[in-house]
């Protein structure tokens, strides 16, 4: 169980005896937010090594927040179990993926007023590379007739702590899995459980995500899910381009319509930029998978997200190329629907229905692209999906 007063309890299972366990204070030297009490383990595999570090942050709004960092030799990722198992940042071949939010987190969820009267208190903790929106609602805030909040912005799951945490290592095949369970429930209304699994492979930069959401009640229920994947510098710059295989696309509102002719090209960061959101139904390959990529202007760097459209049939693109001080960021967002108020999504049949005890699985792969060759390969895959859809 997680607690603000002590570290999370992790179970470690490994199939190898060639592992080392230590409390290594040297890994904390460059981050003043970190405590010196940590757990550090490196496991040798046939095709490289897998390393993980467990730390507790101690400064400011991060105080008491648990972090788990995984290193495959090709990518290093920080997972935030206290924040719905979100991914804070990622580093691959000296490329940092994430964004510089004015929030300057990660922020302990106890300090995020999700249910404040404005409906947008969620934004006070918005800082991650990958944050889940859901599970009961995932879009814009919605209010009762008397003005009180019915559904807060992007839901609750990102500010709920994980339990049943486990790291499983298969040294023979060079695989490390991180598993956690997050419960979101309201008595008499709904009870949903998220089991998330991150899979890492020694020597690979790819992050595999499998989420299983279960309706824990004895009666039918419903859910929504949106993966808010956020990228800023150094990829987001004037001329940075979004590549996606599109079946159908529409602007969310009049502001987005203004930029429809260049919806997939980023402008230079500018103070006062007002966000634009594009709602996409993507094409998929023969296995039902789609892919979206954001590349730098010269296509030397990028990031792609591959996702299973059987349960994530929609893609939302969020452009917020504001001044860097204000949060220069682009969001690539595979989802079960669009980020409208939940009642609108219900009317349009885009809320996922779950029978009593039923589960749904959601899968995606996060792929850092650290050189022009990898960017070109991702574009070729996307072009192939686009060609298949014609």
pLDDT digits (tens, 9 = 90+) for 114-162: 999 999 999 999 999 999 999 999 999 999 999 999 999 999 999 999 9
Q: How far apart are the first and last CA of the chain?
A: 50
- 11-389: CATH number: 2.70.98.10
Q: Is the peptide bond before 330 cis (omega within 30 degrees of 0)?
A: no
Distance in angstroms (rounded) separating the CA atoms of residues 360 and 224: 11
Residue 6, judged by CB atoms within 10 A of its CB (0-12, 13-18, 19+), counts as exposed
Enclosing H/E stretch for 256: helix 254-258
> What percent of the chain is modeled with pLDDT above 90?
86
β-pairing, 19-22 with 328-335?
unpaired
Which of 215, 200, 245 lies closest to 75, judged by CA?
Answer: 200
- Tens of pLDDT, residue by residue over 192-206, are 999 999 999 999 999
DSSP-derived secondary structure letter, 24: -
Quickly state the pLDDT bin for 39 (edges 50, 70, 90). confident
* 199 within 8 A of 175, measured Cβ to Cβ: yes
- Domain regions of the chain by residue span: 11-389
Q: Please give the pLDDT value at position 264.
A: 97
Distance in angstroms (rounded) separating the CA atoms of residues 37 and 56: 8
Q: Please give the pLDDT value at position 19.
A: 37
Q: Is the peptide bond before 106 cis (omega within 30 degrees of 0)?
A: yes
Distance in angstroms (rounded) separating the CA atoms of residues 294 and 5: 40
Residues forming beta bridges with residue 292, ordered by sequence position: 305
DSSP-derived secondary structure letter, 74: S
Is the pLDDT at 14 greater than 80? The verdict is no
């Amino acid at each position: 169980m997680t607690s603000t007063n002590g570290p999370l309890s992790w179970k470690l299972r490994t199939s190898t005896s060639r592992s080392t366990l230590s409390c290594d204070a040297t890994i904390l030297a460059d981050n003043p937010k970190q405590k010196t009490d940590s757990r550090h383990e490196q496991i040798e595999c046939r095709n490289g090594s897998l390393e993980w570090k467990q730390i507790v942050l101690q400064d400011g709004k991060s105080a008491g927040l648990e972090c788990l960092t995984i290193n495959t030799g090709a990518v290093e990722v920080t997972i935030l179990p206290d924040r719905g198992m979100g991914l804070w940042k990622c580093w691959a071949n000296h490329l940092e993926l994430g964004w510089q939010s004015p929030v300057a987190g990660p922020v302990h969820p106890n300090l995020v007023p999700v249910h404040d009267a404005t409906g947008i208190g969620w934004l006070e903790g918005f800082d991650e590379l990958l944050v889940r929106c859901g599970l009961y609602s995932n879009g814009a805030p919605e209010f009762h007739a008397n003005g009180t909040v019915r559904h807060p912005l992007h839901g609750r799951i990102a500010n709920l702590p994980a339990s049943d945490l486990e790291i499983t290592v298969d040294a023979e095949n060079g695989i490390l899995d991180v598993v956690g369970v997050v419960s979101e429930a309201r008595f008499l209304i709904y009870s949903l459980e998220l089991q998330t699994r991150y899979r890492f492979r020694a020597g690979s930069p790819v992050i595999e995500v499998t989420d299983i959401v279960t309706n824990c009640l004895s009666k039918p229920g419903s859910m929504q899910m949106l993966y808010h994947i956020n990228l800023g510098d150094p990829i987001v710059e004037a001329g940075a381009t979004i590549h996606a295989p599109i079946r159908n696309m529409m602007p969310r509102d009049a502001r987005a319509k203004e930029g429809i002719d260049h919806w997939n090209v980023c402008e230079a960061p500018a103070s006062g930029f007002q966000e634009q959101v594009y709602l996409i139904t993507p094409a998929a390959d023969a296995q039902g998978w789609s892919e979206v990529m954001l590349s730098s202007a010269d296509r030397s760097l990028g990031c792609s997200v591959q996702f299973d459209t059987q349960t994530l049939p929609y893609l939302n693109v969020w452009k917020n190329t504001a001044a860097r001080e204000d949060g220069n960021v682009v969001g690539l967002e595979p989802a079960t629907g669009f980020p409208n108020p939940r009642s609108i999504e219900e009317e349009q049949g885009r809320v996922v229905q779950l029978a009593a005890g039923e589960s749904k699985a959601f899968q995606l792969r996060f792929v850092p692209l650290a050189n022009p060759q990898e960017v070109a390969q991702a574009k070729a895959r996307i072009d192939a999906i686009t060609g298949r859809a014609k």
